[in-house]
Chains A and B, each alone.
Chain A
């Protein structure tokens, strides 16, 4: 795909007219993406997603894009906007200039128009066993009490839990672009998220997947993934910390303990003093 060029020289005031240039692609009709332009009136606080909705509702109902929450939480609306992978719902058009160019995420197949095929992303994510694994499987399957974790232990990995699975990091990663087998920053970042969690004991099981040339050691440390991440997850850092963990083990020395259960009927003094709820009136 040809490189999209944005206009970094400031935006357009509210009430102005924005040119929205979208890479259209219909697999039943097109061999390759073709650009199409629309003019959209800029409203206060308008995001790229709002502009796309304005086009879909008022000018061309056939335009396809994916979105869900519209508030930067679900990660569905990842697109290539003015040459950078971004969330459309999180990007103000006023910051982009009079021409906004939108294309589907690079390093992904387009299903239609701006809808990328995220199946490979989720396949990679699934391949790294992204869940807590413990030796005491009985406690994991049928927990009796909670696992003990200090705020400091939480702080070791909490940054990496904010991953939306939006695939922007994969779209930005040059290694994903050249090496299909590379697991990519999203999956590898999530491996470190679990490795650094002291409730987890699954590093040796995950090492079979990530301690490979197309795993953590395939990362060229371009850092583009961290720049693209809309939630500040910093997958590049996670991958480097993962490499260290593969050498010297996880950052926690001992797995989290299960909090000892209170005796039957035990109530803390504070709970005993707490007033009881009134009886139901209905």
Chain B
């Protein structure tokens, strides 16, 4: 795939991360602020909240999206750094393959965990 498309995906994932991380930070760590805004819920880390989030398909999808965005964004950056250190065509091929295999493995594992949690 051309670099411009990979780079566009990198930017899209960055924007997606910004949205999802804002949601995460708001719900998990700034419950006080949400309460001030009138969106008070149960404590995010209480047992019932964790179980509820784990079972919901929407939450599972969000976790998977967050994982995908973070993996792509981070691994694209890592690939860029490694490619600048070892820039020979052979090294670049090796780095690209390694990054794709690692990313897919972590993504598959993460999706499996999210799906497993949603089933229980």
Contact = CB atoms under 8 A, between A and B. Distances in A.
Contacts of B32: none
B107 to A, nearest CB: 22
A123 to B, nearest CB: 16
A242 to B, nearest CB: 10
Nearest to B95: A213
Nearest to A242: B4
Interface string A171-196: 00001001111000000000000000
Chain A CB within 10 A, most for which of B8, B80, B87: B87
Contact of B4 (A175, A178, A218, A247): A247
Nearest to A210: B3
5 contacts: A207-B4, A213-B80, A215-B3, A216-B4, A243-B4
B61 to A, nearest CB: 28
Interface residues of A, number: 17
Interface string A209-220: 001111111100
Contacts of B83: 213-214
Contact of A211 (B4, B79, B87): B4
A63 interface: no
A246 B80 contact: no
A217 B4 contact: yes
B100 to A, nearest CB: 14
Contact of B7 (A179, A181, A217): A217
Interface string B62-87: 00000000000000000110011001
Given A212-B2, A212-B3, A213-B83, 7 more contacts: A175-B84, A211-B3, A213-B80, A214-B87, A216-B4, A217-B4, A243-B4
Given A178-B84, A179-B84, A180-B87, A213 B3 contact: yes
Nearest to B89: A181
B4 A181 contact: no
A177 to B, nearest CB: 11
Interface in A230-277: 243, 246-247
Contacts of A207: 2, 4
Interface in B1-50: 2-4, 7-8
Contacts of A213: 3, 79-80, 83, 92
A192 to B, nearest CB: 14
